Amino acid sequence: MIRLLIIDDSKVARIAISSYFSQIDPNIQIYEANNGTEALELVQTHDFDGITIDYNMPELNGLEVAKKIFELKRTPKLFILTANIQNAIRDKVEQSGFYFFTKPVTKDLIQAIYLEIKK
Amino acid sequence: MILNEIQIDSVLEIFNIAIGRAAASLSTTFDKEVELSVPKILLVTSNEALTYLPVQKNEEVCAVSQHFSSDEVNLEVKLIFSEESSLNLAKFFLEKQMIFLEEVTQLEQDTILEIGNIFINSFIGTIANLSHLELEGALPNIALLHSKEILKNDEKSAKTLIEAFVKFSIKPTAITGFLILILDSDVIEKFLDKIYKSLLGKDAE
């Protein structure tokens, strides 16, 4: 069973992402965090196969959160999922070795992330 | 300050591309056609700007605002919906996620904020990419306002602004809104110069 963590400060974004993942794989186990601090606590106590991370969040941005998670556990696949489509942000994320996907969230986009997690 | 024809053309061209990209994001979100008006560019004081906005004098509106900055440029983008359109937009979005009426009121503001976040960042990200700027965005915020308060903070400074706005509607619904880009006079020339050079492929010079 796949374990997924969704990190996004928007409840609605978490609902949308979660809803599409559940449609694709009803058995997926989904956890949610609305900021980086909550996420880091969850990562310390749980193992995840994949983590989606919003970029523009209060306190720590998504890239900072991804780097901290990677320092703690190198196993999960980390996906920055953001409305921020700037090339400069994409470059920073990809140079750090993380996946970069842009909102809006659609079923096709979540399917692509799901397939990456399953690889 | 008077903008020349080439400067206005440059801003309109970039604005057109960026708003097209933002509309495409909105269209993908709802799987519906998004119709755009012809963008307008105004160089006005903040007091004058209010009179050009497509709102009734005493209308209640829902506004998502986000501030962006770089070493060279500060700008503000506002996405405005009437109260009725914002509620309908939230309902429309949440129904796609199989969430129905009882939860709409509770989630309305969060939904509009997320839609605004996607729309505004598609728009501004395209401008940043085309003009080779890296713009750092503050967190977006949402407010219910009286129409005359849309540019309230800017009124205090009474600066000259460049204001570009475009109206959009999601077909076949009656949901409409408009987007405003506001630049202070201090940075207009730098911004226009960046845009003009990038359009002509001279940004590396």
Residue-wise pLDDT tens digits, B30-57? 888 998 888 877 777 767 777 777 777 7
Name the closest residue on chain B to residue A16, using Cα atoms: B97
Q: Which amino acid is at B141?
A: N
Query: Which chain A residue has its CA at the smallest distance from B113's CA?
Result: A10
Q: How far does the CA of residue A88 sit from the closest CA of chain B (Å)?
A: 6
- Chain-chain contact of A58 with B139 (C-beta, under 8 angstroms): yes
Q: What is the distance in angstroms between the Cα of A105 and the nearest Cα belonging to chain B?
A: 7
Q: How many CB pairs under 8 A join A and B?
A: 67
- Please tell me which residue of chain A has the smallest CA distance to B128: A86
- The 3-state DSSP composition of chain A as helix, strand, coil percent (nearest 5) reads 45, 20, 35
Q: Is the pLDDT of residue B14 over 90?
A: no
Is B134 within 8 Å of A86 when comparing Cβ atoms? Answer: yes
* Average pLDDT value for residue range B65-72: 89
Q: Please check the confidence at residue B204 and state whether its pLDDT lies above 60.
A: no
Most confident of B2-11, B19-28, B188-197: B19-28
Cβ burial, residue B205 (10 Å; 0-12/13-18/19+): exposed
* Nearest-by-CA chain B residue for A83: B118
Query: Sorting pLDDT into bands at 50, 70 and 90, what band is B202?
Result: low
What pLDDT is attached to residue A23?
93
ipTM passes above 0.85: no
Alpha-carbon distance A39 to nearest alpha carbon in chain B (angstroms): 19
Q: Which residues contact B109 (CB under 8 A, 6 or more apart)?
A: B142
Q: Is the pLDDT of residue B1 over 70?
A: no
Question: Which chain A residues have a beta carbon less than 8 Å from that of B98?
Answer: 19
Residues of chain A with pLDDT below 50 are none
Rounded-to-integer distance, Cα A69 and Cα A91, Å = 19
- Closest alpha carbon to B89 in B3, A119, B80: B80
From the candidates B19, B118, B123, B131, which should be mutated to test the interface with A, based on the most A CB atoms within 10 A? B118
**Residue % of chain B over a pLDDT of 90:** 22
**What pLDDT digit, counting tens, does each position of B79-93 carry?**
999 888 998 898 888
Instruction: Evaluate if residue B17 carries a pLDDT over 70.
Output: yes
Give whole-number Cα distances, A88 to A84, A91, A100, B121, B136, in Å.
10, 5, 12, 13, 10
Consecutive H or E run containing B36: strand B34-36
3-state secondary structure (DSSP) of residue A69: helix
So what's the pLDDT on residue B38? 82
- pLDDT for B142 equals 94
Question: Cβ of A85 and B28 within 8 Å?
Answer: no
